[in-house]
Structure 1
Amino acid sequence: MITAYMLHNQVLEVVPLTTNDVLPPNTIWLDAYKPDDDEREWLSGLFLEDVPEEEELDEIEASARFYWDTDGLHILSLFPQRIGGETRGVNMSFTLRNNLLISFREEDIGVVRLLRHYLRHDRVEITDAMDVLLELQDLKVEYLSDLIEDGYTTLEETSEQVLNDDEIYDMLKELMEQEETNSQIRLALHDTRRALRFVRRTVRQQLTNKQKKAIDEVLHDIESLLPHTQFLFDKINFQLEAAMGFTNLQQNKVIKIFSVAAVVFLPPTWIASIYGMNFERMPELSWAFGYPFSIGLMLISAFATYYFFKRRGWL
């Protein structure tokens, strides 16, 4: 699906395109969402070189994510995508040339939907294609900030579950999900910082003062958010270690009970072993009170061992 955004008198008009259409005049943004082969062939008419392929969206090398060629400025940007309790990064490709921004994405990205909503309600001011790119990056950083705030709330809840046996496994699962979310947040922040620095360095002469200021503000926001991600990492690791320590403590209590039980029953076992010997001459064998004597001796030895452990504070 290809959507064109045309600027008329400072107002953006959104029009879906088919492969039978021509590029409308005053188009500043073409958004290609899951383009099929026919749509890719149609888009190839707008490129001097190759149209970005789907497998290229997962490149991690800086030279493949940020570069300049005859088609203009290319940026491969990572956007966080939250589905249920899982957060993962989704790459979106941008090509900027002659006041036309062409984007490729294989998944429905929430930040793009949010920008479309803002455009319909005139909540953002767009004057050219660069403004669209910068606004997407700004909205992404705001969304990452919201995810960080959610992380603080989640960790406050899990901290109350650390010493609760019934909720320990749910808490561990939540912490693992939060650790993955925080990793995606940190990765997206670093990726956005690299992208904006590349834009500022590469097309600095073409940027307006307002756009330069917007880039600096977003970069400042990123720098202020990165320490929060590190704090969340430390807090997650602390809670994981506390939970594992509590689990080990509970297991040690069980092992301690079995160990004490084995020691308590050791003297009675020793006594029973003595009277289980098959020697011919044992005085107690012909004694009328030999059986109750041996049973009593076992009980006394067991209680004496238990009392000794209790007195020493080992129980």
Structure 2
Amino acid sequence: MITAYTLDGTSINIQPLDLKSAVPHNTLWLDIFKPDEQEQLWMKQLFVEELPELDELDDIEASARFYRDKDGLHIHSLFPQRMGKEIDGINVLFTLRDDILITFREDDLGLMRLLRHYMRQDKLEADNPTDLLLEIFQLKVEYISDLIEDGYKTLEGTAKQVLHVGDLHTTMSELMLQEDGNGHIRLALYDTRRALRFMKRSMRQVSDDEQRRWIDEMLYDIESLLPHTQFLFDKINFQLDAALGFTSLEQSKVIKIFSVAAVVFLPPTLIASIYGMNFEIMPELAFDYGYPMSLVMMLMSACGTYYFFKRKGWL
């Protein structure tokens, strides 16, 4: 799907394009989402050099994610996306030129929908491609900040679950999801920092003071968010260790009960096993009160062992 965002005065209009359509002359942003083979052939007219490949979106090398050629600045940026309770990372390729911003992506992104909503409400102030790209990165940083706040709230709930020893399996599953999501958030922050630094270096001659100040503010925000992700990692690991500790404690209690029961019933078992032997000469076998006597001995030995453990504080 190909969508053109055209600039009409101070407003941005959204215009879907088909393969027979030409790119409008006043296009500020061209968004290409899940292109098929025919749409990829159509895209070749937009690039002087080689068309970016879909499998290049996940490359992690800096030289593959941030570079300049005849088609402009190319920036591969990682966006965190919440999907239910999970957080995943979605790569978007930006090609920035003097007259147009081109985005190329394989997955739907909630931030793009939010951006379109702002455009329809005329809440987006961008009159050139660079400002639009910076607006996208600003929304990204704000969204990451919201995800971190959600992480704090979730961990407050899991902490109570761990302390009250509830469903530890559910709690540990939640903590594992938080650990994975926080990893995506931290990776997105590092990736965004690299992208902004690359933009700052590459556009030193063409960007204005306001754009450079904007980039510096976002870099400052990222630096302030990174310690929070580390704190969340530490908090998650602490709660995981605590949950495992409580699990081990509960298991120890069960093992302790079985161990005490085995020791308490050891003397009665010994007495019963002695009188269960089949020797001919056993004086107590002819005793009229031998059976009740053995029962009393087994009961007293069990009670005596239990009392001894209780007095020692082992129960």
Give unpaired runs (5+ residues) of structure 2. Answer: none
| Cα shift readout 1:240-266 (whole Å, capped 9, x = no counterpart) | 111111111111100000000000011
Describe how 1:198-277 pairs up with structure 2 within 5 A: 198-277=198-277
| Cα shift readout 1:188-225 (whole Å, capped 9, x = no counterpart) | 11100000001111121111111111101111110111
3-state SS of the aligned residue for 2:4? strand
Partner of 1:305: 305
Q: Give the superposition deviation at 1:11.
A: 2.5
Matches of 2:124 and 2:16 in 1, distance apart? Answer: 21
Q: Give the superposition deviation at 1:43.
A: 1.0
Matches of 1:10 and 1:70 in 2, distance apart? Answer: 29
Partner of 1:62: 62
Matched, 1:17 2:17: yes
Describe how 1:42-191 pairs up with structure 2 within 5 A: 42-191=42-191
3-state SS of the aligned residue for 1:67? strand
Matched, 1:2 2:24: no
Give unpaired runs (5+ residues) of structure 1. Answer: none
Q: Which amino acid aligns with 2:160?
A: E
Matches of 2:122 and 2:220 in 1, distance apart? Answer: 26
3-state SS of the aligned residue for 1:50? coil
Kept after mapping to 2: 8 A contact 1:75/1:93: yes
3-state SS of the aligned residue for 1:205? coil
Kept after mapping to 2: 8 A contact 1:99/1:130: no
Q: Which amino acid aligns with 1:286?
A: A
3-state SS of the aligned residue for 2:57? helix
| Cα shift readout 1:22-74 (whole Å, capped 9, x = no counterpart) | 11112121100111111111111110122222211111111111111222111
Moved more, 301-310 or 20-29: 20-29
| Cα shift readout 1:79-129 (whole Å, capped 9, x = no counterpart) | 111111111000001111232111111111111111111122221210211
Matches of 1:274 and 1:13 in 2, distance apart? Answer: 96
Q: Give the superposition deviation at 1:180.
A: 1.3
Percentage identity across paired residues of the two chains: 63
Moved more, 13-22 or 254-263: 13-22
3-state SS of the aligned residue for 1:15? strand
3-state SS of the aligned residue for 2:163? coil
Q: Give the superposition deviation at 1:145.
A: 0.4
- The list of structure 1 runs, each at least 4 consecutive aligned residues, that deviate by more than 6 angstroms after superposition, is none
Q: Give the superposition deviation at 1:311.
A: 0.6
3-state SS of the aligned residue for 1:122? coil
Q: Which amino acid aligns with 2:32?
A: A
Matches of 1:6 and 1:204 in 2, distance apart? Answer: 26
Matches of 2:275 and 2:199 in 1, distance apart? Answer: 91
Matches of 1:298 and 1:10 in 2, distance apart? Answer: 95
3-state SS of the aligned residue for 1:51? coil
Matches of 1:18 and 1:51 in 2, distance apart? Answer: 19
Matches of 1:138 and 1:194 in 2, distance apart? Answer: 14
User: TM-score by structure 2 length?
Assistant: 0.97
Partner of 2:289: 289
* Corresponding residue pairs, total: 315
Matches of 2:70 and 2:258 in 1, distance apart? Answer: 75
Matches of 2:120 and 2:214 in 1, distance apart? Answer: 22
Q: Which amino acid aligns with 2:59?
A: E
Matched, 1:36 2:36: yes
Matches of 1:224 and 1:122 in 2, distance apart? Answer: 30
Q: Give the superposition deviation at 1:307.
A: 0.4
3-state SS of the aligned residue for 1:162? helix
Matches of 1:28 and 1:43 in 2, distance apart? Answer: 16
3-state SS of the aligned residue for 1:21? coil
Matches of 2:99 and 2:300 in 1, distance apart? Answer: 95
3-state SS of the aligned residue for 1:127? coil
Q: Which amino acid aligns with 1:17?
A: L
Kept after mapping to 2: 8 A contact 1:3/1:16: yes
Matches of 1:163 and 1:302 in 2, distance apart? Answer: 36
Kept after mapping to 1: 8 A contact 2:165/2:246: no
